[in-house]
Amino acid sequence: MPARHTVPGPNPAPFVQCVTADNPSDMTLSGTNTYLIGAPCSETVVVVDPGPAFTAEEHVRNVLEAADGRRVELILATHRHEDHTGAIDVFHEVTGAPVRAHLEEHCRGGGHPLEDGDRIVKADTVIEAMHTPGHTSDSFCFMVPSAGPDGSVLTGDTILGVGTTMLDFPDGTLADYLASLERLRELGDTSVLPAHGPVLPSVAQIAQEYTDHRMERVAQVREALAQLPEDQAAQATPEQLADRIYPGLDGKVKQVAALVTAATLDYVRATA
């Protein structure tokens, strides 16, 4: 069993509750954080990221218990990965709520695809949808301005509560990711409610740290290429470079390192 990391807790921000799915792993940390958004006086809630399929039946019961009689008015998904969307059919069937995601294949019950800048007025609050590609091309973050003095932003896997996120290349690209981090940095001291791991106090601070980390990886790839003969550098694969930059990895973590290196190598070659 992987080490469990801190979770956000049941009430991580004003207007926001959290129930963490029981799917801990090296990739999901303590599990997928499902958020419930709604004003204290509201008779409804909005659910964000229902979680994976294999925990769906138990998890929907836990989420409805947290809702405490309030009706689920809408279900949102931050992006396409199974640990976020696997339970959408169970949640939709149990609650009757429409599902909205950027990809139409994940929408249910008349919910239409998310678009950048969508202003979702539900559960007596406002949720602002931000398209933040990079982790995946369909990644969205959700800003809840009413959640505290500076608001809160649900970042999905674009920003995690612990460590850094992977780029699911070629669907997710580093150029897109850097642009998304810049956009999130502009939100200032908005608190971060990630899909995995604990709450972070300032999206501006963590977005800058993520950017710095990515640019360090860019420098490492450039250095690794510079150490190779020109013909070998031109033919170098992400796997070969990942072995130099991330020595000693194996299993799933090694595969993720190769994906991230592929995205970085693509960026380096495109900006050469």
| pLDDT level of residue 262 (50, 70, 90 thresholds) | very high
- Report, as an integer, the average pLDDT of 14-34: 95
Domain boundaries in the chain?
16-212
User: pLDDT digits over 36-90, tens only?
Assistant: 999 999 999 999 999 999 999 999 999 999 999 999 999 999 999 999 999 999 9
Q: What is the DSSP string of the chain?
A: -PPPPP---S--BTTEEEEE-S--BTTTBT-PEEEEE--TT-SEEEEE----GGGHHHHHHHHHHHHTT-EEEEEE-SSS-HHHHTTHHHHHHHH---EE-SSGGG-BTTPPPP-TT-EEEETTEEEEEEE--SSSTT-EEEEETTSSTT-EEEEETTS-SSS-----TTTS-HHHHHHHHHHHHTTTT-EEEESSS--BS-HHHHHHHHHHHHHHHHHHHHHHHHTS-HHHHHH--HHHHHHHHSTT--HHHHHHHHHHHHHHHHHHHHT-
What average pLDDT does this structure show over 103-119?
98
Mean pLDDT of 207-234: 95
Q: What is the pLDDT of residue 250?
A: 83
Quick one: pLDDT band at residue 160, thresholds 50, 70, 90? very high
pTM for the model: 0.95
CATH assignment of 16-212? 3.60.15.10
